[in-house]
Chains A and B, each alone.
Chain A
Amino acid sequence: MLFVKDASKENIVVRGARVIDPGEGVDAVLDVRVDDGVIAALGQNLDTNSHHVLDGEGLVLAPAFVDPHVHLRTPGREDEETIASGTAAAAAGGYCAILAMPNTDPVVDSAATLGSLIEAARTEAEVPVGFLAAITKGQAGAELTEMGELAAAGAVGFSDDGVPVAAPGLMRRALQYGAVTGRRIALHCEERTLSRDGQMHEGEVSAELGFAGYPSVAESLMVERDLALAAYERQPLHLLHLSAWESVQALRRARGEGVKATAEVTPHHLCLTDEAIRSLDPNLKMNPPLRSASDRTALIEGLKDGTITAVATDHAPHARHEKEVPFEAAPFGVTGLETAFAALYTHLVEPGLIPLEVVLERMSAGPARAYGLDEPRIAVGSAANLVLLDLNASYRIAEESFRSRSVNSWLLGETVKGKVRATIAAGRLAYTT
């Protein structure tokens, strides 16, 4: 279900890093040896065997990250991102796998379109990439796609991300039929008669600035509907980019009642609130919108207690000229692949809001589990999916540093802490600095 360009597997020794793998219960200074792309040994003073040596002293070595929600804009908007540029950005962000959403032009709703993406990934993807296919043809919310054929052709899951599946009856059919494919259904929860033309979270800030409001209940009402359908059909589902505390509450309750629902949250919803929009910066415009301080607190709590098990960037590249306009004229979406770890480390780990181990787990094993992918592990015999992190590096986020074709980052100009020094993805050194 994941595709990457052919490359020789490497022989690497990472020397003297603090190795943290929450899943394996490891937190110790160790050498890690990778033979032919597979972790071969963990221990003190390992032989290098003429392997390529990465000096890990003073650095953290963790399972590389998995991003379950990326927009690669291909096909259709290759000026904004391509499989090559998006996966290069992912490598720079410490990711060993990313999942691409199907809301492209054309929409990924046929085996032919999916096949062309897989073929391209096999020649240009720097890290393994999986492709979701649409739930409904053209994401129009009327007819199911041929999910069986799409799954057989390599779809990693199904989503109409960007738009909700509005009709409850169709949503039910998607859950029923999706179960046959064994692939996860991932849902963008938005009741559009409530969000209407909303530009930002409805609350005190929107009242003052005059922007049309996009209320929390537009999300949580749909979350409740989809959880009710999942409970009734006894099928799993994955909730995309939660933003509201009511949604976290509903999910916690449903999981407690045995519903097999997973969910993700983005770094920007974890780090920012709607107060930031006073700057009127179009790089703070995304769907769902930044919400209030109490929503942010609930998302952090949900991530900590495991109600939300995945961090997803919702990396959404946009052309510069499309974002250099007044806020209301700008498209929704911000980039995130290259800044996710630094954002979370700076805004959540350093201030003591969430432990490092939790961030590492929710950026790696958590999202992999949500889609039934192999969890990156630092254990002998596992494929080498490793990220080397410098927690002390402090630096300014600048346009020039991005490998993505787009620069619509909410962190532009901000000084952050925590830098990816190297990424080993599927046994290959995909990034080093």
Chain B
Amino acid sequence: MAEIRVMREDLRPPSSPPRRHFISIKDVTRDDVERLLATARTLERSMQREVKKLPTLKGRLVINVFYESSTRTSSSFELAAKRLSADTMSIKSSGSSVDKGESLKDTAITLGAYDPDVIVIRHPQIGAPNLVARVTEAHVVNAGDGKHQHPTQALLDLYTMREELGRVEGLHVAIVGDVLHSRVARSLIQALALMGGHVTLVGPPALLPRGVEAMGCEATTDISAIAGADVVYVLRMQRERMQEGANYVPSLREYAARWGVTPERLRPGQKVMHPGPMNRGVEIDPRVADHADALIETQVRAGLVTRMAVLYDLLTSGPIEVKTESVLEVA
């Protein structure tokens, strides 16, 4: 992961690993992803025990700062930190000084004064986590910045694919819908490219960003292109990003008719994923969402263990010893 020089290195405990961040898929190598997925798998096994809490990050402070509404990402980060025995604090933009017009820089400096080990941030603007990394000394984890990146979502999606299909390398994934406004799509395209997967983007012309093929994928407006994919990854039609008069598509009704993922458009056995929250009847037919081939609930479970793995990886000096499960024994 990207290392950033710590300005007051001398004030940190000598045992601390170098400060790292997880802001973009570009921050990690294939080895990093393999290690994180292996750690997540070990953690998932430990989650099957009756007492699920691990002492690993006792005494550490993880602050979650959410400037956008979120159910699964914020809850899974909070639970991930708690399961690892870290202290956690959650700040939401409404009801905080953000409501009073405080700048992101000042909010970050304020939170940084508590010496958090990790700041998890979600923000509607691209680059907000980079700014937090510049003005605090915490490890920064991006929980979604505007339309840019959502790297832990990509990690949990890789984890889900590997658990369900046994591999990521060589897998053909069709990503369907509003790619233009999707940080989930950007992170996933990069993550699959990194791990040797094959991506086809499918959506209305105005929602496929011009030049996106340079990220290492194909793009088409033809929904029948999903037929050849092992996994159909359905993106949410983000109504809140559809500004008045933008005319990306004439209507959601027309979108659903042309690009909605319906049973008729799928082959038997094709797996379906969705980052949530779903608009049933728009981008995904309810029969698809509720079918056994839909991995949506698996994704949510994977979200918890992969986020635990990210926190664990950032705050321990070395990779988890996958073989010695005793490391994870409950004290």
Chain A residues engaging chain B, CB cutoff 8 angstroms: 196-197, 202-213, 215, 280, 321, 324-329
Contacts A204-B214, A206-B209, A207-B212 aside, 15 further interface pairs with beta carbons under 8 A come to: A203-B211, A207-B215, A208-B214, A209-B148, A210-B146, A210-B149, A210-B181, A211-B147, A325-B103, A325-B104, A326-B131, A326-B145, A327-B125, A327-B127, A328-B125
Q: How far is the CA of A202 from the CA of B210 in the complex (A)?
A: 7
Chain B residues with Cβ below 8 Å from A197 are 243
Q: Can you name 16 A-B pairs with beta carbons within 8 Å?
A: A197-B243, A202-B211, A205-B211, A206-B209, A207-B212, A207-B215, A208-B214, A210-B147, A210-B149, A321-B105, A325-B131, A326-B123, A326-B128, A327-B125, A328-B126, A328-B146
Residues of B within 8 A of A326 (CB): 104, 123, 125-128, 131, 145-146
Chain B residues in the interface with A (C-beta under 8 A): 103-105, 123, 125-128, 130-131, 145-149, 181, 183, 186, 209-212, 214-215, 243, 246
Q: Using CB atoms, name the residue of chain B closest to A278.
A: B26
Residue of A nearest to B246 (CB): A196
Q: A210-B148, A211-B147 are in contact. Are A327 and B126 (CB under 8 A)?
A: yes
Residues B130 and A280 in contact, CB atoms below 8 Å apart: yes
Q: How far is the CA of A196 from the CA of B244 in the complex (A)?
A: 12
Question: Which residue of the partner chain A has the closest CB to B190?
Answer: A208
Give Cα A202 to B127, complex, Å: 18
Tell me which residues across on chain A come within 8 A of B127, comparing CB atoms: 280, 326-328
Q: Across chains A and B, which 6 residue pairs bring their CB atoms closest together, nearest first?
A: A210-B147, A326-B125, A280-B127, A207-B209, A204-B211, A204-B214
The complex places the Cα of A202 from the Cα of B208 at a distance, in Å, of 12
The answer to whether B103 touches A207, judged by C-beta atoms less than 8 angstroms apart, is no
Complex CA distance for A25 and B227, rounded to whole angstroms = 70
Q: Given the complex, which residues of A lie within 8 Å of B212, measured CB to CB? A: 204, 207-208
- Chain A residue numbers with a CB within 8 Å of B214 are 204, 207-208
In the complex, A205→B214 CA distance in Å? 9
- Minimum CB–CB distance for A13 against chain B, Å: 50
Is the Cβ of A207 less than 8 Å from the Cβ of B211? Answer: yes
| Most chain B C-beta atoms within 10 Å of own C-beta, residue among A197, A203, A207, A327 | A207
A213 in contact with B104 given A208-B214, A208-B215, A280-B130 (CB within 8 Å) = no
Across the interface, name the chain B residue whose C-beta is closest to A193: B245
From known contacts A209-B148, A210-B183, infer whether A324 and B105 are also in contact, taking CB-CB under 8 Å. Answer: yes
Q: Are A321 and B103 in contact (CB under 8 A)?
A: yes
Note all chain B residues with C-beta closer than 8 A to A207: 209-212, 214-215
> In whole Å, how far is B236's beta carbon from the nearest beta carbon of chain A?
15
Cβ contact of B105, chosen from A196, A209, A210, A325, cutoff 8 A: A325
Residues on A with beta carbons closer than 8 Å to the beta carbon of B105: 321, 324-325
A96 to chain B, nearest CB (A): 39
Q: How far is the CA of A213 from the CA of B208 in the complex (A)?
A: 12
Collect the chain B residues with CB atoms within 8 Å of residue A202's CB. 210-211
CB atoms of A213 and B186 under 8 A apart: no
Residues of B within 8 A of A203 (CB): 210-211
Find out whether the CB atom of B211 lies under 8 angstroms from the CB atom of A210.
no
Q: How far is the CB of B67 from chain A (nearest CB, A)?
A: 10
Min CB gap A79→B, angstroms:
16
B202 → A minimal CB distance (Å): 16
Q: In the assembly, what is the distance between CA of A430 and CA of B248, in Å?
A: 55
Within the complex, the shortest CB–CB distance from A258 to chain B, in Å, comes to 35
| Distance to closest chain B CB from A205 (angstroms) | 8
- Taken together as a complex, chains A and B put the C-alpha atoms of A26 and B127 apart, in Å, by 50
CB neighbours (8 Å) of A205 from chain B are 211
For residue B126, which residues in chain A have a CB less than 8 angstroms away from its CB?
Answer: 209-211, 280, 326-328
Q: Which of B103, B104, B186, B246 contacts A208 (CB 8 A)?
A: B186
Minimum distance in angstroms from A324 CB to a CB of chain B: 5
Residues of A within 8 A of B148 (CB): 209-210
Bound form: Cα–Cα A210–B145 in Å: 10
| Chain B residue nearest to A327 in the complex (CB) | B127
The chain B residue sitting closest to A280, CB to CB, is: B127
In whole Å, how far is B215's beta carbon from the nearest beta carbon of chain A?
6
A425 CA / B92 CA spacing, docked (Å):
55
Q: Which residues of B contact A211 (CB under 8 A)?
A: 126, 147
Nearest to B187 among chain A residues (CB) is A210
> How far is B106's CA from A16's CA once the two chains are assembled, in angstroms?
54
Known contacts A280-B130, A325-B104, A326-B128; is-contact A206 B123 (Cβ 8 Å): no
**Residue in A213, A280, A329 whose beta carbon sits within 8 Å of that of B209 in the complex:** A213
Report B13 CB to chain A, min CB distance, Å: 30
* Partner among A196, A321, A329 whose Cβ is within 8 Å of the Cβ of B125: A329
Distance of A211 Cα from B212 Cα, bound (Å): 12
Bound CA span A326–B105, Å? 9
User: CA of A321 to CA of B109 in the docked complex: distance in angstroms?
Assistant: 14
Name the distance in Å between A429's Cβ and chain B's nearest Cβ. 41
On chain A, the residues within 8 Å of B131 by CB distance are 324-326
Instruction: State the CA gap A197–B146 with chains docked (Å).
Output: 14
Structural contact, B186 and A210, CB atoms closer than 8 A: yes
Q: Which residues of chain A are near B123, meaning CB under 8 Å?
A: 326
Instruction: For A328, give the chain B residue with the smallest CB separation.
Output: B125
CA distance in complex: A406, B149 (Å): 31
- Residue of A205, A208, A326 with highest tally of chain B CB at under 10 A: A326
Bound form: Cα–Cα A360–B141 in Å: 48
With a cutoff of 8 Å between Cβ atoms, the chain B residues found around residue A206 in the complex are 209, 211
Complex CA–CA separation, A326 to B201 (angstroms): 28
A164–B148 alpha-carbon span in the complex (Å): 30
Q: Nearest Cβ in chain B — how far from A202, in angstroms?
A: 6
A217 to chain B, nearest CB (A): 11
Give the CA-CA distance A37 to B146 in the complex, in Å. 57
A31 to B146: give the CA distance in the assembly, Å: 59
CB distance from B2 to the nearest CB of A (A): 13
B110 to chain A, nearest CB (A): 15
CA distance A321 to B128 in the complex (A): 15
Closest chain B residue, CB of each to CB of A201? B211
Chain B residues whose C-beta falls within 8 Å of the C-beta of A204 in the assembled complex: 211-212, 214-215
Q: How far is the CA of A212 from the CA of B248 in the complex (A)?
A: 13
Cβ of B298 to closest chain A Cβ, rounded Å: 27
> How distant is the Cα of A206 from the Cα of B125 in the complex, in angstroms?
14
Within 8 Å CB of B128, what residues of A? 326
B107 to chain A, nearest CB (A): 12
A207 CA to B183 CA, complexed, in Å: 11
A207–B180 Cα gap in the complex (Å)?
8
A209 surroundings in chain B (CB, below 8 A): 126, 148
> For residue A324, which residues in chain B have a CB less than 8 angstroms away from its CB?
103, 105, 131
Residues of chain B within 8 A (CB-CB) of A321 are 103, 105
Q: Which residue of B lies closest to A282 (CB)?
A: B127
- Min C-beta distance of B50 to chain A, whole Å: 43
Q: Give the chain B neighbours of A215 by CB distance below 8 A.
A: 210
User: A213 with B130: in contact, given A208-B215, A321-B103 (CB under 8 Å)?
Assistant: no
Q: Inside 8 A of A325's CB, which chain B residues have their CB?
A: 103-105, 125, 131
